[in-house]
Copies of this chain bind each other. A is one copy, B any other.
Amino acid sequence: MSELRGSTHAKRAAYDLRQRIVKGELPGGTRLYEVALAEELEISRTPVREAMSRLAEEGLLERARGGGFVVRSFTYGDVIDAIELRGVLEGTALRLAAEAGAPDDKIKQIKGLIAKIDAGFDTDGAPPNLEQYSGLNSEFHDDIAALCPSSIVRSELERVKSLPFASPSAFVFRRRESKAMEQSIIIAQAQHRAMVEAIERREGARAEALAREHARIARQNLEQKTLDPEELDPALALIVD
């Protein structure tokens, strides 16, 4: 088996298959055969089935008619739609958080996180650390989602974010020279601040609208990247169309 992660064969196999799918090695529509995979991974069919089952729960595989699994196909349009959907669900989560009210200490903590992101760009000449930004940005999105009082909404949002191209930091820029990147992050941070403020002031509709618009940054980055042949994002590897 090629990966060591996880404690059981099933988990390792799931990890392995997940990697192959998001890297595009297993394109959408590919039928997965238990026997072939079992031989390839040098395990028996049982953990392979278990692994495929887990990936089906994640939405990366679909159960085929007559049994078996197929790698789910995602078109470019699906990526756009998934980002839009993430915006809608984050918007709902924030609206509910605003309507219910959020504890001051959590708000304070999130404001600290925003400041920390700012600090990463106050480097005056030194190139900003985009890896760090990506991580902190994900953390921010997780934190504001946690403010939502509805576990149902939280879990459905989590589910959509688990799609590799729908996560909040899927399409952050890679090339630090980019002027567009700098602007994009300035705008994003302004929206981050506004979202927290809206929740704080219990302005539900505003929080919802901001979250939706905020998700469109990802869409914009994606569309720009698609035009630039040097910026092929690994998160797009599993796109069929």
Taking the complex as formed, is A150 at the interface, i.e. its CB lies under 8 A from any CB of chain B? yes
Task: Render A22-41 as a binary contact track against B, CB cut-off 8 A, 1 for contact.
Answer: 00000000000000000000
A3 at interface, CB cutoff 8 A: no
Q: Are B160 and A85 in contact (CB under 8 A)?
A: no
Complex contacts, A49 vs chain B, CB 8 Å: 50
Q: Is A156 an interface residue (CB 8 A)?
A: yes
Cα distance A64–B88 in the bound complex, in angstroms: 29
Q: Which of A50, A82, A88 is packed against the most chain B CB atoms within 10 Å? A: A88
A159 vs chain B, min Cβ distance (A): 8
User: Which of B78, B81, B88 touches A88 (beta carbons < 8 Å)?
Assistant: B88
Contact A152/B82 with A53-B53, A56-B57 known, Cβ cut-off 8 Å: yes
> Among the interface residues A57, A77, A81, which one has the most CB atoms of the partner chain B within 10 A?
A81
Q: 15 interchain pairs (CB within 8 A)? A: A49-B50, A57-B57, A77-B150, A78-B151, A78-B152, A81-B96, A81-B151, A81-B153, A82-B152, A84-B153, A85-B150, A85-B152, A85-B153, A85-B156, A88-B88
- In whole angstroms, how far apart are the Cα atoms of A75 and B49 in the complex? 32
Determine how many copies of this chain the complex contains: 2
Closest to A156 in B: B85
Closest to A212 in B: B92
Interface of A is mostly: helix
Shortest distance in angstroms between A164's beta carbon and chain B's nearest beta carbon? 14
- Given the interface pairs A57-B57, A150-B77, the reply to whether A88 lies near B92 with Cβ below 8 Å is yes
Per-residue contact bits, chain A 155-167, to B (CB 8 Å; 1 contact, 0 not): 0100010000000
State which of B78, B81, B152 has its C-beta within 8 Å of the C-beta of A81. B152
Question: Closest Cβ of chain B: how far from A85's Cβ, in Å?
Answer: 6
Q: Are A150 and B57 in contact (CB under 8 A)?
A: no
Which residue of chain B lies nearest to A59 when distances are taken between CB atoms in the complex?
Answer: B155
Q: Given the interface contacts A88-B88, A92-B85, A92-B88, does A160 sit within 8 Å of B151 by beta carbon?
A: no
Chain B residues contacting A88 (CB-CB under 8 Å) are 88-89, 92
Q: Which residues of B contact A57 (CB under 8 A)?
A: 53, 56-57
Give, as a whole number of angstroms, the nearest-CB distance from A47 to chain B: 11
Smallest CB-CB separation from A73: which chain B residue? B151
A163: min CB distance to chain B, Å: 9
